[in-house]
């Protein structure tokens, strides 16, 4: 069965088109603009496009309605509790945060991963949280207390996706060792290892009845597995590049997937056929989600745009703008009223689907806007600019305390891993490293994974030597004990 291909936004000229002509976002048909005698057709096409763009433009200026701000790194995963009152997020800063959606404030922080968090899922009763990380572990947490209940090990690479079965018995994880793994959440024992993908696996999702598991991989395929024995039931192919995200529809007969090929695809799991290819993103799609009633899908990715799709008509509904960096994950609230999007700008945005507005709450303050000590002069300005990103995770004053990272107050001459009250990795605590101009320069130049292997510092490399010198000079001034 040939799949229908739909365009979400006609003014996106890079929307993975393979044939010449102008596509209508209303009908999904290809209008031939290449014929010499096609003047009337071209004129009609222009009118259709103008009408569509006028309608779409009403939604494109919408800003997000609320923000969950508190992470000190990319927010890679987001999930909403079954009652719609709480959300949990996983971040590159290694932490999970449980949020109150009514106030948009943190309830508690869960710490335990030794590297960045990539994915998070909640059990159907909302009592347990499952998370996956760059440290290769899958961790089970108590939602009410934040206690770490168990750490599952076995993956030989990062864990990119996790899911919990509807009955709460099984957890599943997608690994960059090309495997999918099942975990018994009751006995806390490893389950079957599902092998069949030819490249890293990015995402997993359980069917509504819990009997099947869907996985998506960089090998551009989706595989349907039987949970009871780990047998491969079906392989779905159609994406041109890697699959980054997957989700079942509530009927269990259909699923959606997002891909590096910039498309969202709808699948018939009974036949294995691709039902539709939803085109609208200009860059790779990293996250997809489906509403509880199965009516809507949402997608987000490298173009920093959230797109909502009508799965019945397979058409574009609206786009949300507001993120300043790629979007990694999305989640609907159970009532279908709100949509959460998590991004590399370290923020989770909450969108009201009825109004198209981002919800707002009094007192929400972006940590990235925390005051940064001003430069002392022109020679200090570059270092101050480079430090703005660091200020999200680190304070520099005696009374600033620890944030996602330890305070940098008095860092020069200090032994690594010794700030009171901060939970360091064993690797850093036992390193006997003394922070000075040379060691900090090496850390920035090589990156933490090379310079301090085993540490959980979410730090990016600074390749230019002059940038490192400017930042270190600025740091020496603002962190010196007064």
Dist CA 469 CA 4 (whole Å): 55
- Give the mean model confidence (pLDDT) for residues 339-368: 69
- Give the mean model confidence (pLDDT) for residues 417-445: 89
Q: Quick one: pLDDT at residue 21?
A: 27
Q: Quick one: pLDDT at residue 377?
A: 67
Strand order in the sheet with 263-268: 4-7, 273-279, 263-268, 254-259, 243-248
- Give the mean model confidence (pLDDT) for residues 98-111: 90
Q: Write down the mean pLDDT value for the chain.
A: 82
pTM summary value:
0.70
Cβ burial of 35 (10 Å; 0-12, 13-18, 19+) is exposed
| Residue among 22, 5, 89, 1 at smallest CA distance from 404 | 89
pLDDT digits (tens, 9 = 90+) for 21-37: 223 232 232 222 333 34
Of all residues in the chain, the percent with pLDDT exceeding 70 is 77
| Residue 64 in this model has a pLDDT that exceeds 70 | no
**Per-residue confidence at 53, pLDDT binned at 50, 70, 90?**
very low
Q: Quick one: pLDDT at residue 54?
A: 36
| Residue 303 in this model has a pLDDT that exceeds 70 | yes
| Residue 18 in this model has a pLDDT that exceeds 90 | no
Give the chain's domains with CATH numbers: 4-59 (no CATH), 62-358 (2.130.10.10), 370-478 (1.10.760.10)
Higher-confidence residue of 219 and 462: namely 219
Distances (CA, A) of 418 to 108, 306, 398, 433, 435: 24, 42, 15, 10, 11
Q: Quick one: pLDDT at residue 439?
A: 93
Q: Quick one: pLDDT at residue 298?
A: 98
Q: Classify the phi-psi angles of 346: left when phi > 0, otherwise alpha if psi is within -120 to 50, otherwise beta.
A: left
**Per-residue confidence at 403, pLDDT binned at 50, 70, 90?**
low
| Residue owning tokens 């806007």 | 369
pLDDT digits (tens, 9 = 90+) for 367-386: 333 445 666 666 677 888 77
């Amino acid at each position: 069965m040939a799949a229908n291909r739909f365009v979400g936004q006609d003014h996106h000229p890079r929307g993975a088109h393979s044939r010449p002509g102008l596509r209508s976002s209303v009908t999904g048909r290809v209008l031939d603009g290449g014929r010499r005698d096609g003047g009337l057709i071209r004129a009609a096409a222009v009118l259709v496009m103008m009408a569509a763009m006028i309608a779409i433009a009403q939604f494109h200026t919408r800003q997000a309605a609320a923000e969950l701000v508190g992470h000190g790194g990319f927010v890679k995963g987001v999930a909403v509790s079954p009652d719609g009152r709480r959300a949990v997020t996983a971040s590159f800063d290694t932490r999970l945060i449980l949020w109150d959606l009514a106030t948009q404030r943190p309830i508690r922080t869960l710490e335990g991963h030794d590297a960045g968090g990539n994915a998070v899922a909640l059990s159907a009763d909302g009592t347990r949280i499952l998370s996956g990380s760059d440290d290769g572990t899958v961790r089970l947490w108590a939602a009410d207390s934040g206690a770490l209940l168990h750490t599952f090990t076995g993956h030989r690479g990062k864990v990119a996706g996790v899911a919990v079965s509807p009955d709460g018995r099984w957890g599943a994880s997608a690994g960059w060792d090309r495997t999918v793994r099942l975990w018994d959440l009751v006995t806390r024992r490893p389950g079957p290892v599902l092998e069949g993908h030819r490249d890293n696996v990015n995402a997993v999702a359980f069917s509504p009845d819990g009997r099947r598991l869907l996985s998506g991989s960089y090998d551009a395929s989706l595989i349907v597995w039987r949970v009871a024995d780990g047998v491969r039931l079906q392989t779905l192919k159609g994406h041109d590049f890697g699959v980054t995200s997957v989700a079942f529809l509530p009927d269990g007969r259909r699923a959606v997937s997002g891909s590096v090929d910039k498309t969202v695809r709808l699948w018939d799991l009974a036949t294995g056929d691709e039902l539709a290819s939803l085109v609208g993103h200009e860059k790779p799609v990293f996250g997809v989600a489906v509403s509880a009633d199965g009516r809507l899908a949402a997608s987000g990715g490298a173009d920093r745009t959230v797109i909502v799709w009508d799965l019945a008509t397979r058409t574009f509904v609206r786009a949300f703008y507001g993120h300043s960096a790629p979007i990694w994950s999305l989640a609907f609230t159970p009532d279908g009223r709100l949509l959460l999007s998590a991004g590399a700008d370290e923020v989770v945005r909450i969108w009201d689907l009825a109004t198209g507005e981002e919800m707002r709450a009094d007192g929400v303050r972006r940590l990235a806007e925390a005051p940064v000590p001003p430069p002392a002069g022109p020679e200090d300005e570059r270092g101050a600019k480079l430090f703005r990103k660091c200020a999200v995770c680190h304070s520099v004053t005696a009374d600033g305390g620890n944030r996602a990272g330890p305070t940098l107050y008095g860092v020069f001459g200090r032994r690594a891993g010794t700030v009171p009250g901060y939970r360091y990795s064993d690797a850093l605590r036992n390193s006997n490293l003394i922070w000075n101009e040379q060691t900090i320069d090496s850390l920035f130049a090589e990156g933490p994974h090379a310079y301090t292997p085993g540490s959980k510092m979410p730090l990016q490399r600074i390749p230019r030597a002059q940038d490192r010198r400017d930042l270190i000079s600025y740091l020496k001034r603002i962190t010196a004990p007064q």
